[in-house]
Amino acid sequence: MAQPPEPSGGGAPSVPPVPPYPPYPYPSYYPYYPYAPPPPRSNRALIIVVVAVVVVLVVVPIAVAAILYMMVSDLIGGPGVPAGPSGGFSAPALQEGNVTFTVTSMSPAYPIGSFDFWMVVNGTAGARSPVGASGVPTAYAVSGTTYLVAWADLGGDGSLTAGDSFSVAGNGRPLPPRTDFTFELRYVPTSTLMVASWWT
């Protein structure tokens, strides 16, 4: 039987050369997918914190102060405290050394016991005093000098009304000359004042 011919040169069959390994780092055998950039940071939480702090430090104290103000206002001028009267005096009339002035208006009318008065003579104030009964002079002293203050109840109902009058006289003698007088009538529950001033 015939044998296959020997390769020429008498050696082993030739093998193709192996290509060299690529340098480090080795390339990836998987396809590259780029990552999406991270979303921008939100300041929403910080804004919420700032708003909460402003509410606590500013709005809440204002609301509490408003509530306290309303509560105190109700205590001072709430139900049970009558409104102050609105009224006035005429210009004082000086006659024979004594002075008289009339209540020109008074609304509403209140009992005379709700009022007191004091006088200021040449800048010196006397003490507060209740108003006496109609036609009964009240002895009132300022700086050692006694004056007689009287109320005349025109309506006879015991209340201060328009048409009533007050008189201020010296004690057995005329009012001192060249003297500045101020008479202040006060409605006690609300400290509402009616004032008459004159010069002798």
Return the DSSP state at 64.
Answer: H
What is the predicted pLDDT for the residue at 47? 83
Q: What would the two tokens of residue 76 be?
A: 């001072």
Tell me if the pTM is above 0.85: no
Strands (E), 52-199: 86-89, 93-95, 98-107, 110-111, 115-121, 124-125, 129-130, 138-142, 145-152, 159-160, 165-170, 180-187, 192-199
Q: What pLDDT is attached to residue 54?
A: 78
Structure tokens given for 129: 């005093």
- How much is the pLDDT for 102? 98
Report pLDDT for 70: 76
Check residue 45 and give its pLDDT: 78
Yes or no: say if 163 and 155 are a contact pair by the CB < 8 Å rule: yes
- Out of 56-60, 106-110, 128-132, 172-176, pick the least confident: 56-60
**Mean of per-residue pLDDT scores for the chain:** 84
- For tokens 């004690």, the residue is 171
3-state helix, strand, coil in the chain (%, to 5): 20, 35, 50
Question: What tens digit of pLDDT does each residue of 57-90 get?
Answer: 887 788 888 888 777 765 554 455 567 899 999 9
3-state secondary structure of 12: coil
CB atoms within 10 A of CB 142: 17
Q: What are the structure tokens assigned to 8, written together?
A: 């020429």
E strand intervals along 92-142: 93-95, 98-107, 110-111, 115-121, 124-125, 129-130, 138-142
> According to the model, what pLDDT value does residue 134 have?
97
Is residue 40 pLDDT above 90, yes or no?
no
Confidence (pLDDT) at 82:
61
Cα gap 151→48, rounded to integer Å: 70
Domain 86-199 has CATH 3.40.390: no
The pLDDT of residue 8 is above 80:
no
Q: What is the mean pLDDT of residues 4-27?
A: 61
Choice between 182 and 50, residue whose per-residue pLDDT is larger: 182
Which tokens go with 184?
């202040």
